Copies of this chain bind each other. A is one copy, B any other.
Amino acid sequence: MTRTYPIRVRYAETDQMGIVHHSAYVVWLEEARTRLLEEAGLPYHELEAKGLFFPVTELFLRYHRPLRYGETASIEVRVSEVKSRRVAFAYRVLRPEGTLAAEGKTVHVPQDAGGRAVRLPPSIFDTLRRIAEA
């Protein structure tokens, strides 16, 4: 299951080069990832309320073409890996005309509220596997 979400560039996300600052993409990936989880029936705020956290342990981004204020990007996101102690997401950020602005990956290690690594509960593991393969 790959989903695509629109993200309007915010003025505050630009920098003096006149383009979107590279750190803004990190926040966009998070927004796309949590929307995908929500669509899959796993709203992230509910996971946290149950004591399950998915902190980012690895972040990779490759930037191809800039985005500018006045443009709306599309973020494609999918679950790319599901293990009991590791979940990864893959992303493509597209410009309005469809060319690739950036591509990325994040890795997450499930934790409890105390910051201890935990195994994914079976029902969540199954849901993530299902959306990874759909």
A27 touches B23 (CB 8 A): yes
Closest B residue, CB atoms, query A58: B62
Stretch at the interface among A63-71, A74-82, A120-128: A63-71
Q: State in angstroms the CA–CA spacing of A53 and B18 once bound together.
A: 12
B59 touches A60 (CB 8 A): yes
Does A22 contact B69, Cβ atoms closer than 8 Å?
no
A30 touches B (CB below 8 Å): yes
Extra contacts, 15 of them, besides A23-B27, A26-B26 (Cβ < 8 A), are A11-B16, A11-B21, A11-B34, A12-B21, A12-B30, A14-B15, A16-B18, A16-B19, A17-B53, A22-B26, A23-B23, A44-B69, A57-B63, A59-B60, A59-B63
